[in-house]
Structure 1
């Protein structure tokens, strides 16, 4: 592993599909994100004793430029996705960034190895 100084934080980004699975068309995406969760757990167990803390963030669908281009391509997609979220809206990129920033801040070192779900209650575990 690369040399990280004590007090470093690693934040991996997975997705809700890592836990609930994905569609048959996107099985490889879900599988690779499940691997990110396992990597997070493994690194936390291996390096937290050296002061290197590892976290994961698992968003649901996020409103990004890429998502907007998908909405432009399929005008019904946005509402279909919103219907999946009991919260009633799609997460902003800023909300996901805030969670990443919190973990990177070093304010929750005992949460090392955890993956935070941010998906508007579309998948609760």
Structure 2
């Protein structure tokens, strides 16, 4: 059985990714930080999915957890770096705290978990797959999201560099950049219909399952010759 770690894996896109891997027969370890209710709901509905709490911005906490997972299962086949936060605000009004707190989770968190997992993937010499979740904001930018866009753009560049560095170890590293997806985060948008009709050629928001399908494909053997790529999934909204 293959082992996959999904950060931010108990809600939204991450939950859908965890469930799709579970359906594909993986042993899923879903990591969360703050939403106890979402974690409990997932555990109650799918008791065979392992739930672990971790602050991915804390290097030591990440190292302890990844070591525990490796000792328990003997390997880690796949990592999905999905966890991320938004702290929106106009640039000239953005505090250092808002900037730094977001980068600590979105970018440094991705760095921390990737480094901890790659150490085991490389030593085990069985190859592996890493899929990072970015955003169309990281490709095209977005007003009021300079911190978020910067973090997500950096994740795309991180992906490309890791793919080259670990290709000789048969470790594939790719990136998925969703646009507007139906989640709790977008549920409160008041202009969803206008966005769909004027900005998205397919004229609808994406579903979390559609992102999950792409992620599990990239984790499969069917994608063994794909690495260092960023896949935009946005209904045709931006030219990437």
Q: Whole-Å Cα distance in 2 between the matches of residues 107 and 93 of structure 1?
A: 21
Q: Whole-Å Cα distance in 1 between the matches of residues 183 and 145 of structure 2?
A: 19
Q: In the comparison of the two structures, how many residue pairs are matched?
A: 119
Runs of 4 or more, structure 1, over 2 Å off, are none
Q: Whole-Å Cα distance in 1 between the matches of residues 159 and 235 of structure 2?
A: 22
1:102 equivalent to 2:102? Answer no
Deviation at 1:58, TM superposition (A): 0.7
Higher relative contact order (CA 8 A, sep 6+): 1
Q: Whole-Å Cα distance in 1 between the matches of residues 226 and 138 of structure 2?
A: 19
1:58 equivalent to 2:177? Answer yes
Q: Which has the larger radius of gyration?
A: 2
Q: Whole-Å Cα distance in 2 between the matches of residues 42 and 78 of structure 1?
A: 36
Match in the other structure for 2:120 = 3
Aligned 8 A contact 1:53 1:109 in 2 = yes
Q: Which runs of 5+ in 1 are unaligned?
A: none
Aligned 8 A contact 1:18 1:30 in 2 = yes
Q: Whole-Å Cα distance in 1 between the matches of residues 195 and 146 of structure 2?
A: 18
What's the RMSD between the two structures over aligned residues? 1.2
Q: Which runs of 5+ in 2 are unaligned?
A: 1-114
TM-score by length of 2: 0.48
* 2:215 counterpart SS class: helix
